[in-house]
């Protein structure tokens, strides 16, 4: 399964993925120290997610014109520059510029989020789920590496705490450019168009049952995960008074449960199919909600967040690998851009609404609101399978 391109993408993902966890880890803390309006403290993090959402279609479109190799290099340069800009903003106490740097981190992340598609395109069809799992496992290493390096380097510039963290973010995210020097670009999109003159528009893509299943599964999986994950630290630490160490441990366990299942998710998809694994993802999400209703102790939060991560993994890997099979080669950039725009927009919506809903309605209502989203996924998967059988 492994080839040169896939190995280069996996290595690149380890370093590129450090940007998101470092930003989530630090930007709220740094933001609160740079503005007296505390409600704006999480604006930098929100702008990062917005940048990823808005940049998704742009990144896909640009790569359709210049190829993945150069596109990925540009993405690395954007993120690395954003790290330097953030460090400068922290040193000089420029909150607006710091917010803009976080938006640029999101834009760079929109490019690196395409690694999983490039990985899937570099292998045979039967290995697509495994290639995506390999990228997610690399993401786990990046998620562990990033915040730890950020903590170790935060005081490198003694007069400006955390500016060193962003300098190292810049360094880490420029490293993949070295790997992409050896990356072999894919065939030109024009070659595919010549072989197939019919190119569907966005609405035609969305009305294809399997494409809809892939996008809805991944998008709602991300939205639900982001919604509950963002609300959990607030509920644990602020509402229930648990220590920051316990809260941090639950989030770390959640992150591991998001990525570690990738060791076997691909094999399960190959054995049971995309739809059944999506249904299992819904089961894990449902168990997460059920456990959250049983109580507010440490172990309830721990096991529910682990199930949340597992459910996300099943829906995201299934949705992404199914997406690759639901469009023609000449449609790939349009389809991938639309998918990532949908996924990251719903993620941003979930993250932005979490604190508001939790403070307004409480922990139980926050969980109840996820149930209609899961029902939508069940309906879409069932409808897709039914229509696919009718067309055969």
For residues 103 and 47, the answer to whether their CB atoms sit within 8 Å is: yes
pLDDT at 390: 54
Q: Are residues 174 and 217 in the same domain?
A: no
Q: What's the whole-number average pLDDT of the chain?
A: 89
Task: Tell which of 131, 153, 186 closes a domain.
Answer: 186
What pTM was estimated for this model as a whole? 0.83
Mean pLDDT of 243-266: 87
Confidence check: pLDDT of 88 > 90: yes
Q: Are residues 203 and 175 in the same domain?
A: no
pLDDT-based confidence at residue 101 (cuts at 50, 70, 90): very high
* Range with lowest mean pLDDT among 187-196, 273-282, 356-365, 382-391: 187-196
Tens of pLDDT, residues 127-150: 999 999 999 999 999 988 888 898
Task: Tell which of 186, 214, 235 closes a domain.
Answer: 186
Specify if 43 maps to a domain.
yes
Specify if 57 maps to a domain.
yes
Q: Are residues 206 and 142 in the same domain?
A: no
Q: Are residues 57 and 106 in the same domain?
A: yes
Specify if 208 maps to a domain.
yes
37's torsion region: left (phi>0), alpha (psi -120 to 50) or beta?
Answer: beta
Q: Are residues 321 and 292 in the same domain?
A: yes
Q: Are residues 84 and 225 in the same domain?
A: no
Q: Are residues 157 and 239 in the same domain?
A: no
Confidence check: pLDDT of 181 > 60: yes
Highest-confidence range of 2-11, 200-209, 350-359, by mean pLDDT? 2-11
Task: Tell which of 161, 186, 211 closes a domain.
Answer: 186
Q: Are residues 222 and 353 in the same domain?
A: yes
Tens of pLDDT, residues 274-331: 999 999 999 999 999 999 999 889 999 999 999 999 999 999 999 999 999 888 888 8
Task: Give the CATH number for residue 358.
Answer: 1.20.1250.20
Specify if 257 maps to a domain.
yes
Percent of the chain exceeding pLDDT 90 equals 59
pLDDT at 194: 47
Confidence check: pLDDT of 195 > 60: no
Mean pLDDT of 182-202: 64
Mean pLDDT of 202-224: 89
pLDDT at 360: 87
Tens of pLDDT, residues 228-244: 988 888 888 878 888 87
Range of the domain at 146: 1-186
Q: Are residues 142 and 205 in the same domain?
A: no
The total domain count for the chain is 2
Q: Are residues 96 and 136 in the same domain?
A: yes
Q: Are residues 226 and 252 in the same domain?
A: yes
The C-alpha angle 75, 323, 211, rounded to 5 degrees, equals 125
Specify if 192 maps to a domain.
no
pLDDT-based confidence at residue 38 (cuts at 50, 70, 90): low
pLDDT at 319: 94
Q: Are residues 101 and 230 in the same domain?
A: no
* Range with lowest mean pLDDT among 162-176, 188-202, 353-367: 188-202
Mean pLDDT of 352-365: 86
């Amino acid at each position: 399964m492994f080839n040169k391109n896939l190995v280069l993408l996996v290595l690149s993902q380890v370093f590129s993925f450090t940007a998101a966890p470092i930003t989530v880890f630090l930007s709220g803390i740094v933001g609160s120290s740079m503005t007296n309006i505390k409600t704006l403290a999480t604006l930098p993090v929100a702008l990062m997610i917005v940048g990823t959402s808005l940049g998704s279609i742009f990144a896909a479109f640009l790569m359709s014109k210049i190829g993945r190799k150069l596109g990925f290099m540009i993405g690395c340069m954007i993120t690395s520059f954003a790290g330097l800009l953030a460090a400068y903003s922290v040193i000089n106490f420029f909150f607006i510029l710091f917010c803009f740097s976080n938006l640029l981190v999101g834009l760079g992340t929109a490019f690196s989020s395409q690694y999983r598609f490039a990985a899937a395109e570099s292998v045979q069809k039967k290995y697509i789920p495994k290639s995506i799992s390999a990228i997610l496992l690399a993401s786990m290493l990046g998620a562990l590496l990033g915040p730890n390096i950020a903590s170790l380097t935060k005081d490198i510039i003694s007069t400006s705490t955390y500016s060193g963290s962003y300098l190292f973010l810049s360094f880490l995210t420029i490293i993949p450019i070295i790997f992409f020097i050896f990356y072999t670009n894919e065939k030109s999109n024009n070659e595919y168009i010549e072989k197939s003159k019919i190119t569907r528009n966005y609405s035609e893509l969305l009305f294809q049952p399997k494409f809809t299943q892939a996008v809805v599964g991944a998008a709602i999986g991300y939205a639900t995960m982001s919604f509950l994950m963002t609300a959990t630290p607030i509920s644990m630490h602020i509402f229930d008074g648990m220590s920051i160490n316990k809260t941090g441990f639950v989030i770390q366990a959640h992150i591991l449960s998001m990525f570690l299942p990738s060791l076997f998710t691909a094999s399960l998809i190959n054995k049971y199919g995309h739809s059944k694994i999506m249904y299992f993802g819904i089961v894990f999400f449902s168990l997460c909600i059920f456990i959250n209703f049983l109580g507010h102790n440490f172990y309830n939060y721990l096991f529910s967040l682990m199930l949340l991560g597992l459910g996300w993994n099943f829906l995201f890997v299934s949705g992404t690998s199914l997406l690759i099979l639901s469009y023609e080669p000449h449609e790939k950039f349009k389809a991938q851009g639309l998918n990532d725009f949908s996924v990251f927009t719903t993620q941003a919506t979930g993250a932005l609404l979490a604190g508001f809903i939790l403070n307004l309605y409480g922990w139980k209502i926050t969980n109840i609101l996820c149930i209609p989203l899961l029902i939508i996924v069940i309906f879409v998967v069932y409808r897709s399978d039914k229509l696919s059988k009718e067309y055969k």
